[in-house]
Amino acid sequence: MALPLPASASGMLRIVGGNSTDTGQEPWMVALASRSVYGNSRSGQFCGGTLVSPTKVVTAAHCLYDESTERPADRPDLRVIVGRTDLSTSDGAEVPVSRVWIDPDYSMSSNMWDIAVLTLAVPQTGRPVLPLVPQGATAPYLAGTTATVYGWGDTSGRGQYPYVLHQVQVPVVGDAVCQRDYPGGPDGTFRARAMVCAGEQSRGGKDACQGDSGGPLVVGGQLVGLVSWGTGCAEAGHPGVYSRVAAMANAVRGQL
């Protein structure tokens, strides 16, 4: 979902600063797609998601919102694409969604509780899933922990959308530091209750970006974060902000 946030011009490679990977290695990585809204060239991809059970996908609530109406978007052709590394192909499957649950506390204005669960109309039996971090876990969120984020989003911060899945390793940024990075105002407010930051705090260069939203931040083989928001992409002093899954895991488990 392309929030039109400007990216700084400096120091960006490619996600941003990472490298390509594939859904054979990350079989739980899925794309959210709507061909009627986003076109066919990249299979209609607009967000990422994570398969957490044969029928359930965790993503960001804001992926399912209409930015103009600030209401849940009506996308009759919403699909979850599984097993497709390269969005220009027809590999894997495009699975219809039978139910959408958006965290009732989600707020588009504050970006709080940015999490949703999709129910697949066709169970993905046998496809490996990624477990959720336990409710209340703290260890994966310690500053400096290495996390990996995955997605098909902008690789440069200048609107370059790849066909193939990318990944990048980003250190978790401590809550006190992120509070200083995003104290409020136009850049948004970081709130550790429901968010966690990751990125190269002092150098920048590595980050998620537009189109990666809803995708997983992974530590130790568990889903610990969801790409949510940030100022620009890969800027020093503006790390990526993620939904803090350990603060929402019980609510999500109620939906599984």
Name the residues that contact ligand ARG, by CB under 6 A: 1, 3, 153, 207-213, 227, 229-230, 233, 240
Give the separation between CA 137 and CA 66, rounded to whole angstroms: 32
Query: In angstroms, what is the minimal distance from the CB of 217 to ligand ARG?
Result: 10
Q: Which is nearer to ligand ARG, 53 or 178 (CB)?
A: 178
Query: Is residue 126 exposed (0-12), middle (13-18) or buried (19+ Cβ within 10 Å)?
Result: exposed
62 noted as active-site residue: yes
Candidate list 34, 43, 53, 213, residue with the active-site label: 213
Candidate list 43, 62, 207, 238, residue with the active-site label: 62
Q: Which is nearer to ligand ARG, 217 or 249 (CB)?
A: 217
Query: In angstroms, what is the minimal distance from the CB of 207 to ligand ARG?
Result: 5
166 noted as active-site residue: no
- Can you say whether residue 113 is alpha, beta or left, with left for phi > 0 and alpha for psi between -120 and 50 degrees? left
Query: In angstroms, what is the minimal distance from the CB of 173 to ligand ARG?
Result: 11
114 noted as active-site residue: yes
Output the residue with the shortest Cβ distance to ligand ARG.
Answer: 230
Closest to 208 measured CA to CA, from 175, 244, 168: 168
Q: Which is nearer to ligand ARG, 28 or 65 (CB)?
A: 65
Sign of the dihedral defined by the CA atoms of residues 34, 40, 42, 43, in that order: positive
Q: Which is nearer to ligand ARG, 3 or 139 (CB)?
A: 3
Cα within 13 Å of Cα(196), Cβ side: 31
Q: Which is nearer to ligand ARG, 55 or 200 (CB)?
A: 200
Query: In angstroms, what is the minimal distance from the CB of 209 to ligand ARG?
Result: 5
Query: In angstroms, what is the minimal distance from the CB of 156 to ligand ARG?
Result: 12
Catalytic residue numbers read 62, 114, 213
